[in-house]
Amino acid sequence: MNIIIHPTYLPNVAHFVAMTNSDEIIFEMDDNYQKQTYRNRTYIYGANGKLQLSIPIIHSQKERQKYRDIKIYNSENWQSLHWKSLETAYRTSPFFEFYEDDIQPLFTEKFDFLLDFNLKCLDAIFECFQINLNTSKSQVYEKEVVNKTDFRFLANARKEKPFNFDSYTQVFNNKQGFISNLSILDLLFNEGPNALNYLESQSIDL
């Protein structure tokens, strides 16, 4: 199966289920930026439940902007805050220390553009999984795609449908129970090398 999908910030489990069960991944590079999507946000499991991490962006006066042109507002110390949140949430998870050195540099290197940063995050996570996926980038925007499955809807945080993914042990299970479809880091820090087996065993109903 060939798919087209948005590069998002520390993508959720659904994104990775789609990617790891595909033959070729085409990253959408030419769409317009939309607010309230996973392009600049992700969710993790904090001590009080679901916690949103959002990358601040520089808002333009233009009515429409290409996703690739969106700049990060680096005057805010968001990277340090996000890393502290991840540490607080996952320091006691089974595999945090195993992957810490791969993930932590994402929160020290400055990036001007959101899309570039999101692609860097994907590279780091692929490295953690030790997988080589067949990826390419779109050249033009197509509203309707042919010969590929369109998973671009997964970036929409406002209209997210529930996913019946299997549960796995999470750090704060005893507080809030299982929370599905968080950032892939939740799965990675809790399941470690078994995370890939988990992803390959899940499916998304279109």
Cα angle: 71, vertex 74, 79; to 5 degrees: 115
Q: Is 60 a residue whose pLDDT tops 90?
A: no
pTM of the shown model: 0.95
What per-residue confidence (pLDDT) applies to 190? 98
In whole numbers, what is the pLDDT of the chain averaged over residues? 94
For the chain, domain boundaries: 2-168+176-201
% of the chain residues with pLDDT over 70: 100
% of the chain residues with pLDDT over 90: 84
Which residue, chain included where needed, has tokens 């795609």? 145
**Which amino acid, one-letter code, is at 128?**
C
Distance CA 188, CA 192 (A): 5
**Which amino acid, one-letter code, is at 44?**
I
Q: What is the pLDDT of residues 31-54, one digit of tens each?
A: 999 888 999 999 999 999 999 999
Q: What is the pLDDT of residues 151-173, one digit of tens each?
A: 999 999 887 888 989 999 999 99
Neighbours of 183 (CB within 10 A): 28
Torsion of CA 41, 43, 44, 50, to 10 degrees: 140
